[in-house]
Amino acid sequence: MPQPTPYLVPHSREDIAILHEDEHLLLVRKPDLLLSIPGRHPLNRDCLISRLRQRYPTASIVHRLDLDTSGIMVVPLHRECHAHLSRQFQERRVEKTYHAVVWGDVAGDRGEVDLPIAPDWSDRPRQRICRERGKAALTRYEVLERHGDRTRLLLRPVTGRSHQLRIHLREIGHPILGCDLYAHRSALAMAERLLLHATELTFTHPATGERFSGASPAPF
């Protein structure tokens, strides 16, 4: 039986922007269409961490952004920093904000989506809402701008499930524009890329013990 053709991701030509650098960590801006870590296929090895290690050999990954999502990431530069940050992510002490442009006019100025998420094993890599076996997932949102057929939202995910923001917004009838996994045809056609960008991270700096923030404005 012939093997299925592997999915080869597009190779982003955009550079990774260094937003902050110290002896412990980096804050970087990941372009859209760049993997956070290498893919399984040899032709999908180009990624954020492999590029960074050409200049910062000790850099490691402590969290990820989807291929299609751009925005700010924190990258530890040594083992102790990695362990400290990893614990903060696990304990939900890292504050994350995103900007998204979604289909339609969102009712109300703010709200939240509290729906459990599980892998859709019959249609990977998609996720699905599953109240019986899904893991708890909570997203808070705030309307920033309305433009008739679309709305700009500020998103604050409390949990960090795979595809959480995309599937939660789809579930309330407002898929993210340009989303090839969860948007209907009209919303997909309204943008050339996924209009989702990680705009801010706030965490406790492992060296100083003080809260530390970085920002990356949305490019759309």
Residues known to be catalytic: 66
CA distance 109 to 140: 11
DSSP for 112-154, please give it: EEE--EEE-TTSTT-EEE-TTTPBP-EEEEEEEEE-SSEEEEE
Q: Are 61 and 37 in contact (CB under 8 A)?
A: yes
The amino acid occupying position 70 is S
CA distance 178 to 169: 13
Output the CA–CA distances (angstroms, integers) from residue 191 to 76, 95, 106, 180, 187, in the order listed: 33, 28, 18, 10, 8
